[in-house]
Amino acid sequence: MTVSALRTEGLGFVYPEGTRALEGVDLEILQGERVAIIGQNGSGKSTLVRHFNGLLRPTEGSVAVAGTPVGMRHVAELAREVGLAFQNPDRQIFSGRVAREVEFGPRNIGISGQELAACVNDALAAVGLEGRAEANPYDLGFSQRKLLALASVLAMRPPIVVLDEPTTGQDANGIGRVRSIVEMLSSDGRTVVAISHDMRFVAETFARIIVMRAGRVVLDGSPREVFAQEQWPILASTYLEPPLAARIGARMGAGSTPTEAMLVERLLEQGGAMGTGRAG
């Protein structure tokens, strides 16, 4: 599949008060890809993704969604194609009923009746809240409210889903749930882009990782490529550390093994119980 989902050309952005947040960003994300964007706070990750649904307009360069330039299309219109789920659910939840909250998005884009009910139910099921449709969102815990906020975006059935720090503040169950949602969206042919600080979550869930520093893309590749030892100086320059599995793998001469599964696999290939000693 080589249909373009998101493309930026020479994208630059300067905030009104003069801070430059993005510079010369050239990216292409194809439909169906699973991409994580990592980097220090202030590296431009959030600024970048806000260009995908028109919340921000480029100062320089251009942005295209599904091959069509974004231009001055309204955010409300782009929301049909790019769903953006934010970090803090309490900055958007306003309804006293879970189902009503989830309906907000699809209603705004003109979905009603039977189709609306289906969108809402599917979204709630995807995040594991199908039994709580009549509950008050504030009777749910924080983890579930975060999933609720995600459901409210999923209910709009956008072909491109962008998640801003979906695992921050989540416990193990929550992270697992987010992982299954990403997998479900992916197997559905949808494009998933996520910003995250959790290196292990990123290495294990995404096929492509984009590293940002000071408004630029400094690395772009598979987890194996990005977390390979040669790239560690670049990661260090933006205060990131590769996952432990990668560090152990490098230490044991097993090559680039950003996930525990890859590490174990490589060690087995290298001859099972080889490692009483330290290799290289």
Partner 1 sequence: MTLALRGVRYRYAGAAAAALEGVSLTLEPGHVLGVVGPNGAGKSTLCLVAAGLAPATIGGELAGEVRIDGVTTASSRPHELAQRCGILFQNPTTQLSGTSATVWEEVAFGPRNLGLPLEEVVARVDAALDALTIRPLADRDPERLSGGQAQLVALAGVLALRPAYLVLDEPTSQLDPQGTRLVGTAIGELARQTGAGVLVVEHKTDLLATIAEQVAVLVAGSVVASDEAASILADARLEAWGIESPSRIRIERAARRAGVHLVSEVEA
Partner 2 sequence: MQPSDPAASAASAGPPGVPAFVQRPPEGAYRRLNPTTKLVIAVVEALTAFVLRGWTGLVIVLALVVVTAAVARIGRAMLPFMLATIPLIASILLVNTFLYPGATDAIVRIGPLTPSWSGLEFATQAALRVVAFALSVAVFGLTTRPDDLVSDLERRGLGRRVGFVISATLRTVPRILQRAGEITEAQRARGMDTEGGIWRRVRGVLPLAGPLIFGALTDVEEQAMALEARAFSAPARRTVLRTFPDSPAQRTLRWALLATLLLVVGLSVSGRLEFLP
Which residues lie near partner 2 (CB under 8 A)?
50, 53, 55, 74-76, 79-80, 83-86, 88, 90-95, 104-109, 149, 152-153, 156
Q: Which residues in 220-239 contact partner 1 (CB under 8 A)?
A: 239
Which stretch, 60-68, 125-133, 177-185, 196-204, contacts partner 1 (CB under 8 A)?
Answer: 196-204
Within 10 A of 224 (CB to CB), how many other CB atoms are there?
A: 17
Taking the least distance from each CB to partner 2, the nearer of 83 and 242 is 83
Which stretch, 75-83, 122-130, 212-220, 256-264, contacts partner 1 (CB under 8 A)?
Answer: 256-264
Taking the least distance from each CB to partner 1, the nearer of 219 and 267 is 267
Q: Whole-angstrom distance between the N-terminal and C-terminal Cα of the chain?
A: 41
Q: Which entry of partner 2, partner 1, none binds 195, CB below 5 to 8 A by partner kind?
A: none
Question: Which residues sit at the interface with partner 1, rule CB under 8 A?
Answer: 40-42, 141-143, 168-175, 197, 199-200, 239-241, 243-245, 247-248, 251-252, 260-261, 263-264, 267-268, 272-276, 278
